[in-house]
A and B are shown apart, each in its own frame.
Chain A
């Protein structure tokens, strides 16, 4: 069957079997391998994308269900060579170690900040409850999202903790 959708602002279409999962359509058909396949059982959140503005698991969705949808993946965040504030936050606050969870973490954070531009630390932690970091590097991920939130609100991010040490 043929499926069509908007991915990162571009209208795309391709063939998919009814059983093709959205994450495989993104990675294998469209070549967008930024979205990761982690646990494949809806627990880890590595495959998180933005679908019509909501964080969803692309491994627990059929490509067919996304027909006509508006999707953003991690590849769609940077523009004109400028990192998205959340990407910049992960860079500036060492929000990644092995990087496997990072695309999903970033997409969760982007949708979280769209829904709640000024989340508390607790709300950030709740907001990434569906994303597991196998390096357990949650502390800096939270700092990275705080950094991004400040940037997106036009504020000066708090200095990195190690700068005060």
Chain B
């Protein structure tokens, strides 16, 4: 099983990569290849050209920008999972990374690649949503910052233009009393494989009550989404078990839950509620 023929372009810097995308409409960007290459092998996708950004220096860093942290386009899931900086400011994303694919996949697959691939049941997009991440998209005409909330357009479709490269995802640093968490049921049980249902939550606690919350759900609908109703129910509450339970009842508000091989609408709705409560409770305990 191998892809159709394509032109392989391996630019050594970003400008060259962007020029290659301009010169080859329909070209795909290759980083770790854990999503792109299987699609090409199965011939679900047959681009005329592949722009391999794997040799571009400077894209493989997790960096501290003062008020935010950045994860570069070539940072792997394994590196995200092992990063103290990500654990401190975006635990939901670090956990998501540690549960993505298997060891071999995490050694090659990238965080930014997973965001752009935008699989309906992927782990990274909901973590990015809950953490209010910013996507930094670069093209030959400049740099565009896209809020995570505007990034996931539909099933496997992001707001990234064909001539843009997601060079980094930026996560605001977690202030005092703020923490995040991710929990899911994987398709092969436990945390293994894509999520049947997965929930990322970020909460801020101040003076004994929840002052801010974001909750995002993956796996159950056609794309990863923020569920404002859960967040609204949490804010102002004391974060007690009953309050979280009540908020979690809204887990699929505004989502058209889709039945698939892994579960019925009722089952997936139930899972979304269960994992919303678990993720919110985990974030609350971490927030102290």
B144: chain A residues at CB < 8 Å are: none
In the complex, what distance in Å separates the CA atom of A1 from the CA atom of B102? 31
Q: Is A129 an interface residue (CB 8 A)?
A: yes
B104: chain A residues at CB < 8 Å are: 42, 45, 48, 55-57, 108, 130
Q: Check B102 against A130 for contact (C-beta < 8 Å).
A: yes
Q: Is B117 an interface residue (CB 8 A)?
A: no
B267: chain A residues at CB < 8 Å are: none
B52: chain A residues at CB < 8 Å are: 62, 64-65
In the complex, what distance in Å separates the CA atom of A57 from the CA atom of B33? 11
Q: Check A127 against B103 for contact (C-beta < 8 Å).
A: yes
Interface residues, chain A, with chain B CB atoms under 8 Å away: 1, 17-21, 24, 40-42, 45, 48, 54-57, 60-62, 64-65, 67, 108, 112, 126-127, 129-130
A56: chain B residues at CB < 8 Å are: 104, 107-108
What's the least CB distance linking B9 to chain A, in Å? 9
> Can you list 27 A-B pairs with a CB-CB distance of less than 8 A?
A17-B5, A18-B5, A18-B7, A18-B50, A19-B2, A21-B2, A24-B2, A40-B1, A41-B41, A42-B104, A45-B102, A48-B104, A54-B107, A55-B107, A56-B108, A57-B104, A60-B33, A60-B37, A60-B41, A61-B33, A64-B10, A65-B33, A108-B104, A129-B103, A129-B192, A130-B103, A130-B104
Q: Check A130 against B101 for contact (C-beta < 8 Å).
A: yes
Tell me the total A-B contact number using a CB cutoff of 8 A: 78
Assuming the A-B contacts A41-B38, A45-B102, are A18 and B8 also in contact, with contact meaning beta carbons closer than 8 angstroms in the complex? yes
What's the least CB distance linking B191 to chain A, in Å? 10
Beyond the given A19-B2, A42-B105, please list 15 additional residue pairs across the A-B interface where CB-CB is below 8 A. Answer: A18-B5, A18-B6, A19-B3, A40-B41, A41-B42, A45-B104, A55-B107, A56-B107, A61-B33, A62-B37, A64-B52, A65-B33, A108-B103, A130-B103, A130-B104
A64: chain B residues at CB < 8 Å are: 8, 10, 52
In the complex, what distance in Å separates the CA atom of A40 from the CA atom of B41? 9
Q: Nearest chain-A residue to B78 (Cβ)?
A: A54
Q: Is B54 an interface residue (CB 8 A)?
A: yes
Interface residues, chain B, with chain A CB atoms under 8 Å away: 1-8, 10, 30, 33-34, 37-38, 40-42, 50, 52, 54, 78, 101-105, 107-108, 192
In the complex, what distance in Å separates the CA atom of A1 from the CA atom of B6? 12
Q: Check A19 against B33 for contact (C-beta < 8 Å).
A: no
* Residue in A41, A45, A62, A126 whose CB lies within 8 Å of B33: A62
What's the least CB distance linking B106 to chain A, in Å? 9
Q: Check A61 against B101 for contact (C-beta < 8 Å).
A: no
A45: chain B residues at CB < 8 Å are: 102, 104
Assuming the A-B contacts A60-B108, A108-B103, are A19 and B34 also in contact, with contact meaning beta carbons closer than 8 angstroms in the complex? no
What's the least CB distance linking A105 to chain B, in Å? 12
In the complex, what distance in Å separates the CA atom of A112 from the CA atom of B107? 12
B101: chain A residues at CB < 8 Å are: 42, 130
What's the least CB distance linking A128 to chain B, in Å? 8
Q: Nearest chain-B residue to A112 (Cβ)?
A: B103
Q: Check A61 against B37 for contact (C-beta < 8 Å).
A: yes
Most chain A CB within 10 A, of B3, B104, B107, is at B104
Q: Nearest chain-A residue to B1 (Cβ)?
A: A40
In the complex, what distance in Å separates the CA atom of A65 from the CA atom of B33? 10
B42: chain A residues at CB < 8 Å are: 41
B192: chain A residues at CB < 8 Å are: 129
What's the least CB distance linking A58 to chain B, in Å? 10
A129: chain B residues at CB < 8 Å are: 102-103, 192
Q: Nearest chain-A residue to B108 (Cβ)?
A: A56
Q: Nearest chain-A residue to B5 (Cβ)?
A: A19
What's the least CB distance linking B156 to chain A, in Å? 17
